[in-house]
Structure 1
Amino acid sequence: MNLQPELTPRLPEGRWALFLDIDGTLLEHAAHPDAVSVSEELRLLLQTIERRLDGALAFITGRSVAAVDRLFDPLKLRTAGLYGLEHRLAPGGPVEAADEPADMAALADEIELELASQAVYVERKGPVLAVHTRAAPHLLARATKLVEQALERLPKGYRVIAGNAGVELMPLEAAKGAAIRRFMDIPPFAGRRPVFLGDDTSDENGFETTNAAGGISIRIKPRGPTAARHVIADVTGAIGWLQANFGNLAIETGRGEARRSRGP
C-alpha cells in the first residue's frame, strides 16, 4: 500500500486506455444505488472521451451491466460489471451475464429479513450480494458480521469485501484487476497505457493491476493507505481532471451545438 500517494498529475500526450469506477468516482454516493442520476454534461464528456481515445474507455464497476445501461441511457459503453463477472466488450454489443446461485439467493433472503427493515438495502446482483449501510452507518459492523458468518456456509471460492459504507460477498474471480487485464488484451485497449480511477476498497485490486502495467492509478477521497499512486479529493475534482486530460472539447462542443440549435 502506498502511504503517501501524490496529487494527480496532468497526463502527457500518449496512447492511454481509461478505466472508470462509477459510484464515488463519477457520481456521489447515495443512500440507495438507484437514487443517483447522470447529468447530460457527464454523458457528453464520456462520449467525447470515448471518441478521443478511439474507444479505449470502459466502466469497471460493481453494478451490473444492465444497471449501468439504465443509469447512463442511451449510452452503452464498454463495461465490466459485477467486478468483472459480467462483460460487454464492444459498445452496444452482447453482454456476458452472470446468474444468481441458489445458495447466494438463500443467504440474501436471510440477511434481508434481518436488516432490510432498518434502513439497510440488500442488493442482489447475481453472484454478488451487496449490503448497503450508508443510510444506517451504525449497522455496518452488524452487516459485516452477518456476511462473514454467511461466508462459512458457502462453498469455497467466495470472499468478503468491506467498503466505506457497506459490505459485499462475491466469488474470488470477481476482481477489477482481472477485468482491466481482459480489456487490455483486446483492441482498442491493447498496446496502450492504462489509467484507472476508483474510490473504494474494491478498487484496490484494480490499482495494483494498473501499477504493474506501468499505468496511472488514482483514488478518489482516499481513507487510509491505498495502492493508488495518486489521489483526487472528491467527485467534482475527478470530473474536472477527466475534463482537463481527456475531454476538454466536450463543453465547448455542447455549447456550439446549443448555439447552432438556437440559430443566429
Structure 2
Amino acid sequence: MNTQTDLTPRLPEGRWALFLDIDGTLLEHAAHPDSVSVSEELLFLLQTIERRLDGALAFITGRSIADVDRLFEPLKLRIAGLYGLEHRLTPDGQIEAADAPADMAALADEIELELASKAVYVERKGPVLAIHTRAAPHLLARATELVEAALARLPEGYRVIAGNAGVELMPLEAAKGAAIRRFMQFDPFTGRRAVFLGDDTSDENGFDTVNAAGGISIRVKPQGETAAHFAIADVAGAIAWLKANFGNAAEQATSDSLVA
C-alpha cells in the first residue's frame, strides 16, 4: 500500500456495489462482541445507502447472520455471515447456512476451560470458532497455540486466521473474497464496480478479490502491510467517508482521512 498522504477525491458518479465489514469498520471493537451497539444515525445511513445503490449493499462479516440481524434490528440487508459460510442474497430471503463438524463443540469446551476464566471470550459460531483476546492480549499467543494444535482433530479443510485481537478456526471455503464474488453474480450487483471496506486480516482476501476486479479496496486502521489500495484512520473516518460518497449529499463530510 502506498502510504503517501493525499487528499482523495470523492468517488465519481457510477454504478457502485458496496461491501462492508462490521466490527472495526462500522463499529468500534469491544472486549465482547455483544457489548457493541448500533446508533440510529448509522441505521439511517445504511438505509440511505441501500436506496441510493438500488440495493447493491451487503455486509461481509465474521458474525452470524442471526447476530447481525439482532444488532441492526429492524434493518435487514443482504449479507454474507461467518466469512461467507452463510448467505442471504436478498434482505427477506432464506439463509443458506453451513453445518459445524461434530468435534467443534468439544474443542470449544476445552479451550474455554483453559482460557475463559482469564478474560478470554470463546465464541461458538457453528463451523467457525473465534477466540477473542482483546481483554487479555497477553494470551493471544496461547490461544493461537491451542487452535493450531486442534487442526489435527478436525476434518481436512480447516485453517487458522490470526487477527488484531484474537484468532479464529474456520473452513478453507470461508473467504470474504468468495462471498463478494458470489454477490457480484446476482442483481443488483451485476455489472457494478465493487467497493469493500474492512479492517482485519480476514478482510485481506476480500481486498485481493476487489482489486483483481478493478474495484476500490479500503482498510480501516491498517496495521502493517495490506492489499488494500486505500486506508482510513479509524471508524469515525470510515463513517464520514461513507456519508460523503454514498449518503445524503447535504451531509457531505471531508474525505481527507482516505490516503492512497
Q: For 1:120-174, what per-residue CA distance to the aligned partner results, in whole angstroms no more than 9, with x for missing partners? A: 0000000000000001011001001110111122221000000000000000000
Letter of the 2:103 counterpart = D
C-alpha displacement of 1:36: 0.1
Contact 2:244 2:251 in 1 (8 A): no
Secondary structure, aligned partner of 2:98:
coil
Residue pair 1:20, 1:198 contacting (<8 A) in 2 also: yes
> CA offset at residue 92 of structure 1?
2.0
Aligned equivalents of 2:42 and 2:98: distance in 1?
A: 28
SS at match of 1:242: helix
Tell me the distance in 1 between the aligned counterparts of 2:95 and 2:249. 31
| 1:9 CA drift (Å) | 4.3
- 1:216-255 to 2 correspondences below 5 Å: 216-249=216-249
Question: In the aligned structure 2, how far is the partner of 1:233 from the partner of 1:188?
Answer: 30
Which residue of the partner structure matches residue 185 of structure 1?
A: 185
Give the equivalent residue in structure 1 for 2:97. Answer: 97
Task: Name 2:45's counterpart in structure 1.
Answer: 45
Closer/same/farther in 2, CA of residues 85 and 221 from structure 1, 3 Å limit: same
Equivalent position of 1:58 in the other structure? 58
**Does 2:201 align with 1:204?**
no
Distance 1:94 1:11, change over 3 A: same
Task: For residue 28 of structure 2, give the secondary structure of its aligned residue in structure 1.
Answer: coil
Which residue of structure 2 lines up, in the alignment, with residue 259 of structure 1?
A: none
8 Å contact 1:41–1:251 — kept in the other structure? no
1:168 corresponding residue in structure 2:
168
The 1:52/1:177 distance shift into structure 2, 3 A limit, reads same
Q: Given that residues 133 and 166 in structure 2 are in contact (C-alpha distance below 8 angstroms), is that contact kept between their aligned partners in structure 1?
A: yes
Shift of 1:20: 0.0
- Partners of 1:159 and 1:137 in 2: CA distance: 21
Mapped to 2, the partners of 1:203 and 1:33 lie a distance apart of 18
Gap regions ≥5 residues in structure 2: 253-260
Residue in 2 that maps onto 1:77: 77
Summarize the Cα distance change of 1:51–1:129 in structure 2 as closer, same or farther, 3 Å threshold: same
Residue 215 of structure 1 corresponds to: 215
What is the count of residue pairs matched by the alignment? Answer: 251
Cα distance per residue 1:221-258 (max 9 Å; x no partner): 00000000000000000000000000125869xxxxxx
Q: CA deviation at 1:100?
A: 2.2
Distance 2:239 2:187 in 1: 26
Correspondence for 2:35: 35
Partner of 1:14: 14
What's the secondary structure of 1:207's corresponding residue?
Answer: helix
CA contact (8 A) 1:158 1:170 kept: yes
Q: Is the 8 A contact 1:5 1:228 kept in 2?
A: no
CA RMSD, 1 decimal:
1.5
Aligned residue for 1:140, secondary structure, equals: helix
Using the aligned pairs only, state the percent identity.
83
Using the alignment, how far apart are the partners of 1:106 and 1:5 within structure 2? 48
In 1, Cα distance between equivalents of 2:123 and 2:54: 34
User: Following the alignment from structure 2 to structure 1, what is the Cα–Cα distance between the partners of residues 208 and 48?
Assistant: 27
- How far, CA to CA, are the matches of 1:24 and 1:212 in structure 2? 24
> Helix, strand or coil for the counterpart of 2:153?
coil
What SS does the aligned partner of 2:130 have? strand
Contact 2:101 2:154 in 1 (8 A): no
> With structure 2 as the length reference, what TM-score do the two structures score?
0.93
Aligned to 2:87: 87
2:141 is aligned to 141
Task: Report if the CA contact (8 A) 1:221-1:234 is conserved.
Answer: yes
- In the alignment, residue 69 of structure 2 is paired with which amino acid? D
Distance 1:142 1:132 in 2: 12
Equivalents in 2 of 1:9, 1:36: separation in Å? Answer: 31
Partner of 2:121: 121
8 Å CA contact retained: 1:140, 1:165:
yes
CA distance in 1, matches of 2:171, 2:98: 11
